Structure 1
Amino acid sequence: MNRIASSKPQIFLLHYAGGDRNSFRPLIENLQSHFQVETPELPGRGNRMSESFLKNKEEAVADLLKQIKSTRQKDVPYLIYGHSMGAILGFEICHALEKCDDAPRYFVPTGYPGPGIKTPTSIAELPRAEFFAEVRKLGGLSDEVMEYEELLDFFEPMLRADFGLLENKNNQTPDIKIQTPVYAVMGKNEKYALNIRNWANYTSAGCECQIVNGNHFFINQNFSYLSQVIRNLMNAAAAK
């Protein structure tokens, strides 16, 4: 099906571990009147449920990059937003797009303090009870979901695959610096929130950082705030 061209800027929303193209539904609803909202997703979920999970970060970056390139409307500006895993992958995606001479106007990472900060102990291979105890600490699954074994059965393979993808021992921390401005946001109860200024080491452009109330999934209570930030960034970029 041919896509209908639009003059609206684009925004690409990169989901977190265990997420899919619908993970940011409230954010999409707040942005769709201002942006062409694009929601690439990794295999093994959503519209790609029948596909096998990916094994490492390099494969995930390549997969998402292919989707972004296929839906980019070159005559309009765009932003990339990613939460947690989406922020980790989005950083390398920005770098790849810059090399293609198609840099985003802004990169908005949330729930991640940038490369080079010590990460928690690997959890992908933990026994089920311990694994979900760690997931629960992040706040990604509600108490209601945690009470139903059937729902845990559904989410467990996807979560383990995504955490395993990030924890793969063959992953390399990229020795790169992007040229795209960064606007980073973290919840004040996140373990590495005070390291958020680390992002300034990984961009040669501007870097703004904010810490807001909440845990790793502060976004669930702050979709209106995030949509306003994103709209303001695009308006500021357009005015330059």
Structure 2
Amino acid sequence: MTKGTPVAIADTETTQWIRRFHPSAASSTRLVCLPHAGGSASFYYPVSQKLAPAVDVVAIQYPGRQDRLRDQGVPDIERLADHIADELARLTPKPTVLFGHSMGAAIGFELALRLERAGAGAVELVASGRRAPSTTRPERVHLLGDDAIIAEMATLNGTSGAVLADEEILRMSLPALRNDYRAIETYRAPADRRLRTPITVLTGDADPKTTMAEAEAWRGHTEGEFRVEVYPGGHFFLAEHQDAVRAQLTRALAAGRTAV
């Protein structure tokens, strides 16, 4: 995190990094949503729609996509976490749950570390669709050609059919997607990098990106409470189990209210 006194952001404001689809000054807790590789803040619109106005749902918009298409991407998970931590430092303090899917789970882990160091630790990290930070695989999608990256997107079902069918939109999104793949595929965390923050892991039982052993390995990254919740489905299982995932978030947010 950078030094200096940050300029405060009101509970109803949006910024370059922060999107609030249903802003409310009356919220008592905050949910910070971190998208997957190639994803955008709008992925979490349905979450905001269901949880607001009781919850301040803050969706992070990474550079290089949608209205930030011209912004230079950040091909490094830890640097992304630095930027986001700086933004969150400008918000009114509230009990906060971090929720990240796939690449967003790794960013959430690094973000939780930064919040702890700043004395503003999160209530819980909900890490979805991602193996533990210290586990590694020889992934090199970011080095492949455009067609191979598109094929990867189609395989994981993380991009709507409309986007895949529109070549112009698809080609515009490829630089951000390649950047994100570079960031997550080159990310490494030592096994002894631990949070005090509790961690809940959500995983699909047929996710090609996360085995059960890799999901359980998150246990070694927290000194707090730990749980794993398994759902039927692949990498984007959460699209099919929105109510169940939202129930996990509601439980974590309720714990934050109780802790106040």
**TM-score normalised by structure 1 residue count:** 0.90
Letter in 2 for 1:189: A
CA contact (8 A) 1:57 1:166 kept: yes
- Superposed, which structure 2 residues align to 1:32-181 within 5 Å? 32-71=52-91, 73-74=92-93, 76-168=94-186, 171-174=187-190, 175-181=192-198
| Between 29-38 and 40-49, the greater mean CA deviation after superposition | 40-49
Q: Distance in 2 between matches of 1:190 and 1:13?
A: 21
Q: CA deviation at 1:109?
A: 0.6
Q: Distance in 2 between matches of 1:55 and 1:233?
A: 30
* Structure 1 runs not aligned, ≥5 long: none
Q: Distance in 1 between matches of 2:220 and 2:41?
A: 30
Tell me whether 1:227 sits opposite 2:227 in the alignment.
no
Q: CA deviation at 1:158?
A: 1.4
Q: Distance in 2 between matches of 1:144 and 1:48?
A: 21
CA contact (8 A) 1:179 1:204 kept: yes
Q: Distance in 1 between matches of 2:233 and 2:169?
A: 25
Root-mean-square deviation over aligned CA pairs: 1.9
Q: CA deviation at 1:48?
A: 2.5
The CA deviation string for residues 40-63 of structure 1, in whole angstroms up to 9 with x for no partner, is 222112342331111322221111
| Between 177-186 and 144-153, the greater mean CA deviation after superposition | 144-153
Instruction: Figure out how many residues of one structure are paired with residues of the other and give that number.
Output: 236
* Structure 2 runs not aligned, ≥5 long: 1-7, 12-24
Q: CA deviation at 1:7?
A: 4.5
Q: Percent identity?
A: 24
Tell me whether 1:199 sits opposite 2:218 in the alignment.
yes
The CA deviation string for residues 28-84 of structure 1, in whole angstroms up to 9 with x for no partner, is 11111330111122211234233111132222111111122122x22x211111111
Q: Distance in 2 between matches of 1:84 and 1:51?
A: 22
> Which aligned runs of 4 or more in structure 1 are off by greater than 4 angstroms?
none
Q: CA deviation at 1:237?
A: 4.2
Tell me whether 1:3 sits opposite 2:10 in the alignment.
yes
The CA deviation string for residues 204-240 of structure 1, in whole angstroms up to 9 with x for no partner, is 0000111101111112222222222111222234335
What secondary structure sits across from 1:16 in the alignment? coil
